[in-house]
A and B are shown apart, each in its own frame.
Chain A
Amino acid sequence: MSEAVELGFPSLRLVPKAEGKQSAKDFKSDQEVRWCPGCGDYAILAGVQSFMPELGLAKENIVWISGIGCSSRFPYYMNTFGMHSIHGRAPAIASGLAITRPDLSVWVVTGDGDALSIGGNHLIHALRRNVNLKILLFNNRIYGLTKGQYSPTSELGKVTKSTPMGSLDQPFNPVSLALGAEATFVARTIDSDRKHLTETLRAAAEHEGTALVEIYQNCNIFNDGAWDPLKDAEHRDSLTFRLEHGQPITLVDGSRGVVRAADGSLQIADVSAVGTDALLIHDVHSEDPSVAFALSRMSDPMSLANTPIGVFRDVRRTPYDALFAEQMAAAKAGGSDDLATLLAGSDTWEIT
C-alpha cells in the first residue's frame, strides 16, 4: 500500500498519483461492452473514461464496485480494479473497502432498482455515514436487465409487463431521498450532456465523503425516451433549471426563476414580472438542506417540467473513514498492543 500523496482533490489526497500522463484509452478494459446498442450507458462510460485522467490517480488505486442490473456491468469495462457484486449491496461492500483503504478511490455504480429498491437500506446508510465513496446512480426509470418491469422511479401508472393496468406506487425522487438521508453531496446530471456530466463528476470527486450523482440515463429498449423532454433542443431549455453555485436559479432559457414566497416556500415566477434581484441565489454549501430539498421537489415526475440539473448540495462534514482512522490512531497511541499481555488478562493463576 502506497505512500500518501497530496493531490488537488481533497477527497483523494491519500490516493497515489499516476506516474505518467493518462488518456481515456488507459481506462478501457479489454472486455467487449455488452449493453444494447444505443443504450445511454455507453455515453456515461465514455464520459467517465475521458474524465478519469483528470484525477491523475494511479489506475491500480481506483476501484469500481457495482451491484446487479444493466448499469452494474460497468466495472468490467473499466481498466482499474473492480467488483461486480450482488443486487443492492455495492454500497456496503464499498464501505468496507473504503474505510480500510484510504489509499483507494472507490466508486459505486448502481441503478434505480439496485440502489433504491433492493439496496435502499444500504444507500441511505452510506449517505448518512459519509464514507469517502462516489456513487453514480444510473436512473432509467425501468428494470432493464430483467426485461422491463417498473422501477421505484417509474412514474405512477406506468404500464409494464408486471403492471399491465399501471403501477400503483408513488415513485422515489432520488435527490429528495438522499437529502433526507443526511447526504453531504447530491447532484443530478444527464447521460447525453457530456460537458455537464464531466463537471458533475469533477464536483463529486472533489467532495470529501459520500457523493451521490443521479444520472438520467436512457434505456432505449424498455423505456425509450424517458428523459427526452430534457434532451430535445426544442423543449429542454424551458424545462430545465441549471443549478450553479452563486448564480440565480432560473430555467436555462431564463424565462422563469425561483423566488421565495411570503410563506417561505419556493415558487416559480416569470423573471420579467419579479425582476432578477428577487431570484434565489443557489448556495450548494448551505448547511440547511431545506432549500435543496425544496428544489428537488419542484419537478413534475410526469411531464419533467421544472427539473433542476446540477449540484443540489455540497457541504463539508468529516467523512466517516477519517473519523474512523482518528479513533484507530488514538487507540494505538493510548495502549499496549502486546498480544501476550492481552491473552493473559489480569486474573491468572499458576499451576506448577
Chain B
Amino acid sequence: MGKQTVQLDRVIIRFAGDSGDGMQLTGDQFTSRTASFGNDLSTLPDFPAEIRAPAGTIPGVSAFQLHFADHDITTAGDTPNVLVAMNPAALKANIRDIPRGADIIVNTDEFTPRNLTKVGYDTNPLEDGSLQSYAVHPIPLTSMTVEALKGIEITKKEAERAKNMFALGLLSWLYHRPTEGTVTFLKQKFAKKPEILAANITAFEAGWSYGETTEDFSVQYEVKPAVMAPGRYRNMSGNLALAYGLIAASQRAELPLFLGSYPITPASDILHELAKHKRFGVMTFQAEDEIAGIGAALGASYGGMLGVTTTSGPGVALKSETIGLAVSLELPLVIVDVQRGGPSTGLPTKTEQADLLQAMFGRNGEAPVPIVAPRSPGDCFDAAIEAVRIATTYRTPVFLLSDGYVANGSEPWSIPEVDSLPDLRVQFATEHNHTKADGTTEFWPFLRDPETLARPWAVPGTKGLEHRIGGIEKADGTGNISYDADNHEKMVRLRQAKIDGISVPDLEVDDPDGDARVLVLGWGSTYGPINAACQMSRRKGSSVAQAHLRHLNPFPANTAEVLRRYDKVVIPEMNLGQLALLIRGRFLVDAIPYNQVRGLPFRAEELAGVIKDVVASV
C-alpha cells in the first residue's frame, strides 16, 4: 500500500529449504502465477535423490529456481537476484551462487546453534557480518506463521508446515503476482482437509500482508508481461509435454498407445501422466522390470499398437537386447530416455547428456537406431511426435533423448491447434506382396518399400499373412532364417541404409550478423544456455552463429555443409564430448568440445566466456 514500485526486466528467484519444506510446490505455484501473468519464464528444480534426507543437512536441501522476464528467455538464469533460505543448510548450500547485492530472505527461526553446527557454521552468518554485502531480510517465518494460525484447529507441527505458504505470500506481494490461482490450487489440494486448507490460505495471506506492512521491504517490484507470439499459452514441463506429445501422436496415427514401463527417476512422471489418460485409449503397463517393460511394448507394437517404453540411462542398459531385437524385427517402438547423471546409479535427480553414445551404439552387432532430442520443456511435445513419425514410417525403434533438465523444467507453451499436427496414419499390410514362379502369391514380411526401405507392418489377425519373424538373421524378402554370408552382408547394409535414409529437416543456423566465423553446435537441453550465451556474446560485439541438432541419427543432410562454413565449431555438452566425437568421426571437423558434468545446466555467462575466447582466436 503506497509502497514504491520498481520496474525490472527480469528476475531470478531461488527457493531453497529442507526436502520436507515444500520448496518444489512453492516454486511450482510461483511459476504458475508468473506464467499466467504473461512473463516468459524458465525453471530449474534441483532436489536430492533421497525422499527425506536427514533434516537440516546440506544433502537434504531442495531448491527451485525460476527466471522470469518481460522478454524472451531460454534459461533458468545463472545467478539469482533473490534467495529464499528456509534454514542454515539452504543458505550454506546456495550462497556461493548468489551475487553480492542480491536479496536474501532467511527464516531466522531455523538459525539455532544446533542447526548451525549441523552444517558447519561456527558462528551465525546472520550475525557475524559475513553477509554484509547482501541485502539480508531476517524474518522469523516459522513463528510468524504459527502466530498467524492461532485459532485454527491444527497441531503446532501442522502450523509450522504452512511456513512455505507464508514465504510464497511474501514473494507474491514482492513481485506483484496474482493470488487467485494459488488460492484455487490450495482449495483443490486440501478439499478434504478444511483445517489444513484454512491454515495454508491464512499463512499465504499473512505473508502477503507482512510484505505490505513491514519496513524491511521498502519497494515492490514489477516485471511486465513479455512480448510473445499471439496465441493461447499454458505453462508446460518437459515430462508433461512429452506425455502429451505421445498421446497426440497416437491420436494422429490412429494407433492406440501402449506404454510398457518400470519406475525410474526422472522418467516416472511420464508413466504417471499417461496412466491418467486411458480415455484416449492409452494403455499403461507397469512391468516387473525394465526388460519386461520394453518387451511388452514391443509385443504391443507387433500387435499393431504404438509401443512406447520410458526410462533413464540405467534402464536403457537393461533394454539394449530388446532394442536390438526391435532393430532386427523392424517394428516401430519409441524408447524414451530421460537422461540423468551416470555411470551406474549416478545422480538420479541431476541432469546429464551422457547417454548419447549409448543410444547411438549401445547394442551388439550393427544395430542403428534413430535419435531425436528435444531442446526445451515445451519442445518435448514436438520431439515426441517426430519420434513417433520416424518409428511408424520406417518401422524402427527410435530413441527420444530427453534429460532431467528439460524433463523437470518448465516454460510457457503455445498450445497447438490439433489440426496443425502432422497426419501420422499408417497402412498395415493386408495382402500378399510376392508372386511365385508358378503364379501363386505369398506374403514376404521383409519385402521393402523402395522409398523408405521399411518392411510391411503385418499384424496378427490379418488373414493370409501368417508369417514368422525373429532375432535370427533373415533372408532378404522372405524373412526366413538365413545364415548365408552374402545375405547377412546385404541385410546389415539394408538396415543401415534405411536409417541413414530417414528424411529429417535441415539444420538451421542462427547467425543474425551474417558474418560469424565461429559456430556453436549443440543438441538437446543445452539449447537454452547456448542461446543465451550467443545473445550475450553478440551484445558484447562477438559475432557467433548457433545451430542446434534435434536429429542425431541420422544427422540432417546439410550438416557437413553447415560445419564447413565456419572456421571453428564449438560443441558444449553435459558429457565428456560425445557429440564432438561423432562430429569429428563423421565429418572430419576439428570441433572444439566444451564439457561439464556437474548435474546442472550450463551457465550462459560461462559459455559466453568460452565463445569470446574462441572468437578472439580466429
Contacts and interface: CB of A to CB of B under 8 A. Distances in A.
B247 A351 contact: no
A349 B460 contact: no
A328 B283 CA distance: 8
A347 B285 contact: no
- The residue in A84, A93, A125, A340 that gathers the most chain B C-beta atoms within 10 A of its C-beta is A93
Contacts of A82: 467-470
Contact of B299 (A80, A93, A336): A93
A21 interface: no
18 contacts: A29-B468, A60-B463, A75-B468, A76-B468, A76-B470, A83-B468, A89-B295, A101-B461, A103-B461, A121-B288, A331-B278, A336-B279, A337-B279, A337-B281, A339-B418, A340-B418, A347-B235, A349-B234
Contacts of B248: 339, 343
A32 B472 CA distance: 15
Interface string A78-121: 11111111100101111111111101100000000000000001
Given A59-B466, A93-B298, A339-B280, 12 more contacts: A68-B471, A76-B470, A81-B460, A83-B470, A84-B468, A84-B471, A86-B322, A96-B302, A125-B292, A337-B279, A339-B418, A351-B233
Given A84-B472, A101-B460, A327-B278, A344 B234 contact: yes
Contacts of A91: 292
Contacts of B258: 96, 99-100
Contact of B296 (A29, A75, A92, A104): A92
B468 A122 contact: no
Contacts of A125: 287-288, 292
A345 interface: yes
A65 B471 CA distance: 12
Contacts of B233: 348-351
Contacts of A29: 468
- The residue in B225, B235, B417, B467 that gathers the most chain A C-beta atoms within 10 A of its C-beta is B467
A347 B181 contact: yes
B416 interface: yes
Contact of A348 (B244, B321, B415, B463): B415
A31 interface: yes
A335 B302 contact: no
Interface residues of A, number: 61
A79 B463 CA distance: 12
Given A92-B287, A92-B295, A334-B279, A104 B461 contact: yes
B244 A342 contact: yes
B354 interface: no
Interface size class of B (residues with CB under 8 A): 35 or more
Contacts of A94: 299
A61 interface: yes
A2 to B, nearest CB: 6
Interface of B: 32, 35-38, 181, 225, 228-235, 244, 247-248, 251, 256, 258, 260, 277-281, 283, 285, 287-289, 291-292, 295-305, 307, 321-322, 324-325, 329, 415-418, 460-472, 480-481
Contacts of B247: 339, 342
B295 A122 contact: yes
A265 interface: no
A81 B462 CA distance: 9
Nearest to A95: B296
Given A100-B300, A344-B234, A349-B35, A332 B463 contact: no
Nearest to A328: B278
Task: Kindly list the 10 A-B residue pairs having the minimum CB-CB distance in the complex, ordered from nearest.
Answer: A84-B470, A96-B299, A96-B296, A92-B295, A331-B278, A92-B292, A125-B288, A93-B299, A97-B299, A81-B460
Contact of B300 (A31, A59, A65, A97): A97
Nearest to A98: B299
A256 B506 CA distance: 80
A82 B471 CA distance: 12
B232 A83 contact: no
B232 A344 contact: yes
B322 A342 contact: no
Given A328-B281, A331-B278, A339-B251, A86 B321 contact: yes
A31 B479 CA distance: 11
A335 B277 CA distance: 9
Given A61-B460, A344-B234, A349-B233, A93 B470 contact: no
Contacts of B461: 1-2, 16, 58, 60-61, 81, 101, 103-104
A95 B466 contact: no
B466 A83 contact: no
A339 to B, nearest CB: 5
A99 B285 contact: yes
B300 A96 contact: yes
Contacts of B279: 331-332, 334-337
B481 A343 contact: no
A29 to B, nearest CB: 7
A95 B302 CA distance: 12
